[in-house]
Structure 1
Amino acid sequence: MRIREIVSVLEQVAPLCLQESYDNSGLIVGDPEKLVGKALLCIDSTEAVIDEAIAKGCSLIIAHHPIVFDGLKQFTGSNYVQRVVMKAIRNEIAIYACHTNLDNVLRGGVNQKIAQKLGVLPTGVLRPMPGIIEKLVVYVPIEQSEAVKNALFLAGAGHIGNYDECAFSGLGDGSFRPNEEAHPYTGIAGRRELIQEVRLEVLVPVWLKSQVFSALKQAHPFEEIAHDWLRLQNTHSEFGSGIFGTLSQPLDSEDFLRFIKDSLELKVLKFTPIASKKINTVAICGGAGSFLISDALRAGADAFLTSDIKYHAFFDAEQSMLLCDVGHYESEKYTIELFSTILSEKLPNFATIFSETNTNPIDYLI
């Protein structure tokens, strides 16, 4: 199977356009047209992981963290990033990263996986991502409007929250004059035509724009389609940073902390002073999430699980929310299970192997 076919399955769940501006998700090393037989799934692409891929005959590594964030200006092997890339190239091993684009999806993302481990039912995103929805406005002859609308819906347009097939239509008159080289659906060259048309409006996620436009061109009867794409600041309820939800049953703070430690198999757990109230609403952000503390408070979270919290950020919880630092690697270690689930559902005959290499750069003396 070609690499592009494999990674396209991941990108159906986590489109690359959802990654943060600083990120470098996508195919970092390798030819997208290369045929591969199996993939090694990991959190980090390290030299040890490359060696493991070689030993296990995996010509594709799918990692959560990109091995390259900033551009490489030289390949001398002077640091681990250069050595990993050089070793991967020498051994014809491709490296693909699925990072903040997978963090920023509610369904099937990193945070939902943590929520599953804790029995938290997600109800929303802490900080929805703006600028990922566009409005398509197109003008269609009235007799073809329903067929065009249905084609757009089938291509993925018209979703708003828990509703689909959402659209707005309005009647009006459209005019045009074909020239001698035109092949009009109706009318003759050199004469202005006036026909009754429907103005059709639908919302389209940016990652489906090409797909929706292809469907429009196939369904619309005109060779020149009058249409507009309007970039919106609307947010999408299922895409953005962090999530929040409710526990299957409320817990006392101390019981909740023990539950987290056991459920996520933590060696250590850092947290703010224990409040007396029960924990019911829980906010979650895998990886570094202290930038979402204020969002978690606004969401009414009783507790917020994340990692990489700096000393002064612990004060931001205002003693009204239990703030828990579970560790960066620890919060994302189940991501390889996500990769496996996504790929096995769509590509049941493609082999994936969980890396046995512990890439956590932090250890603890207990």
Structure 2
Amino acid sequence: MKTPNGHEIIQLFEQFSPKRLAEQGDPIGLQVGSLSHKVNKVMTTLDVTEEVVDEAIKQGVNVIIAHHPPLFVKLGAILTDTPKGKIIQKLLTHNIAVYAAHTNLDVANGGVNDLLVEKLGLQDTNVLVPTIQQTMYKLQVYVPKTHAQDIREAIGQAGAGKQGDYDFTSFSVDGTGRFRPVGNASPTIGNLDQHEEVEEEVVSTIVEEVRLSSVIKAMKKVHPYEEVAYDVWKLEQQGEVQGLGRVGRLTTSKTLEDFLQVVKENLPVESVQVVGKRETVVNKVAVLGGSGRSYFSYAKRAGADVYVTGDIDYHSAQYAEEMGLNVIDAGHYIEWVMVEGLAKKMNELFKMEKWDVECIASTVNTNPFRVR
């Protein structure tokens, strides 16, 4: 099995959570250290505190993937007798790189907000705050008919051919491939310096930009030819809308009081603050991890019976009450769901790549608030 370096780890991560999904000015990416060295162990965390770094050192971690950028504000100097400087010193001393994935992981399919949806048991979900729409591409690959099904399966598994509620969509045309191997060629079919004709199939599909590189990689991996003939076109039609937060429905109606218990039982919270009458019937729920006070109007327009988010101040709560929006402030720490969720996702990707590397979830509670 292969031991990847840090660059390969992050390239794999960015296949489903690319930087372009992030809000403008968000300080994401590599923040401390180098990605050039080999990686045996990765750790996910919500925050990078000294206790988290100590855990990473003890566990032999090479790369930390954090949701909250530890250097959210640029430092004018690194002073090792300050808390932030001490953390950086420990990271560099033990050759641990820190990579931050903030709003791109909020927006990404399978990211923070989808993990919250899963925990709350919401169905038929949609994006709450649209921020980006996928660019679509057409991929067309020429392959011997004997290997066409292998190609269709590989590119479908990599995410090509997704259209609405359908996946693995493709179209094929039969044809004849012609070539002559020359020089140092090592042909799968045919002989050097001899013209060859092969019954081939042209397999066409559509691919979202975020999945294009991984689909091409998967296609080349199973294609029998050493020189693969394929075409890629950018399409006028737009793809999936992505963005912050989600809105969906409960499988059964609940009162706001009963739904509070669902939140407390399934999210990492000790207490919540509530705006609204507890007997209110809840069917439709909006959720947005982190600070969600700027998006009340989106939750209201989506017809949400309640909006679950964090960091709601006094005057914002009054505004929500005035506009008739029920709100559950469960705190910023509900984003902790990404720690275990992302570790599971990364291990699945490592297994698919057949890499000798492990991703662990930090066990450190980084929530600065304590309920008394």
Which category of TM-score, normalised to the shorter sequence, fits these structures?
A: 0.7 to 0.9
Among 16, 19, 40, which residue is 1:37 paired with? 40
Secondary structure of the structure 2 residue equivalent to 1:363: coil
Amino acid at match of 1:33: S
Deviations 1:141-188 (A, max 9, x none): xxxxxx9xx8xx8686664433568899xxxxxxxxxxxxxxxxxxxx
Secondary structure of the structure 2 residue equivalent to 1:347: helix
Whole-angstrom CA distance in 1 between matches of 2:81 and 2:205: 52
Deviations 1:100-127 (A, max 9, x none): 1111024x22122222222222421112
**Match for residue 229 of structure 2?**
219
Residue 240 of structure 2 is aligned to residue 236 of structure 1 = yes
The CA deviation at 1:247 is 1.0
Residue 120 of structure 2 is aligned to residue 110 of structure 1 = no
Contact 1:36 1:60 in 2 (8 A): yes
Among 23, 46, 49, which residue is 1:46 paired with? 49
**Match for residue 302 of structure 1?**
305
The CA deviation at 1:294 is 0.9
Whole-angstrom CA distance in 2 between matches of 1:231 and 1:70: 39
**Match for residue 174 of structure 1?**
none
Residue 357 of structure 2 is aligned to residue 355 of structure 1 = no
Whole-angstrom CA distance in 1 between matches of 2:64 and 2:137: 37
The CA deviation at 1:79 is 4.3
Residue 267 of structure 2 is aligned to residue 260 of structure 1 = no
Amino acid at match of 2:282: I
Residue 87 of structure 2 is aligned to residue 99 of structure 1 = no
Contact 2:22 2:102 in 1 (8 A): yes
The CA deviation at 1:264 is 2.0
Q: State the TM-score, normalized to the length of structure 1.
A: 0.74
**Match for residue 133 of structure 1?**
135
Mark the CA change 1:157 to 1:116 in structure 2 (over 3 Å): closer, same or farther: closer
Secondary structure of the structure 2 residue equivalent to 1:333: helix
**Match for residue 197 of structure 2?**
none
The CA deviation at 1:135 is 6.2
Contact 2:276 2:321 in 1 (8 A): no
The CA deviation at 1:241 is 0.6
Whole-angstrom CA distance in 2 between matches of 1:78 and 1:294: 45
Amino acid at match of 1:354: A
Mark the CA change 1:209 to 1:70 in structure 2 (over 3 Å): closer, same or farther: farther
Q: How many residues align?
A: 320
**Match for residue 119 of structure 1?**
121
For residues 306-317 of structure 1, the aligned pairs below 5 Å read 306-314=309-317, 315-316=319-320
Amino acid at match of 1:236: E
Deviations 1:32-54 (A, max 9, x none): 23112212322111122112211
Contact 2:113 2:244 in 1 (8 A): no
Secondary structure of the structure 2 residue equivalent to 1:36: coil
Secondary structure of the structure 2 residue equivalent to 1:207: helix
Whole-angstrom CA distance in 1 between matches of 2:285 and 2:14: 28
Amino acid at match of 2:24: S
**Match for residue 74 of structure 2?**
71
For residues 150-299 of structure 1, the aligned pairs below 5 Å read 159-163=162-166, 205-208=208-211, 219=229, 234=238, 236-237=240-241, 239-274=242-277, 276-299=279-302
For residues 10-25 of structure 1, the aligned pairs below 5 Å read 10-25=13-28
Secondary structure of the structure 1 residue equivalent to 2:84: helix
The CA deviation at 1:280 is 0.8
The CA deviation at 1:302 is 0.6
Whole-angstrom CA distance in 1 between matches of 2:228 and 2:312: 51
Secondary structure of the structure 1 residue equivalent to 2:36: coil
Mark the CA change 1:270 to 1:80 in structure 2 (over 3 Å): closer, same or farther: same
Amino acid at match of 1:363: R
Among 81, 86, 102, which residue is 1:83 paired with? 86
Q: State the TM-score, normalized to the length of structure 2.
A: 0.73
Secondary structure of the structure 1 residue equivalent to 2:295: helix
Contact 2:123 2:249 in 1 (8 A): yes
Mark the CA change 1:166 to 1:343 in structure 2 (over 3 Å): closer, same or farther: closer
Whole-angstrom CA distance in 1 between matches of 2:360 and 2:161: 38
**Match for residue 196 of structure 1?**
none
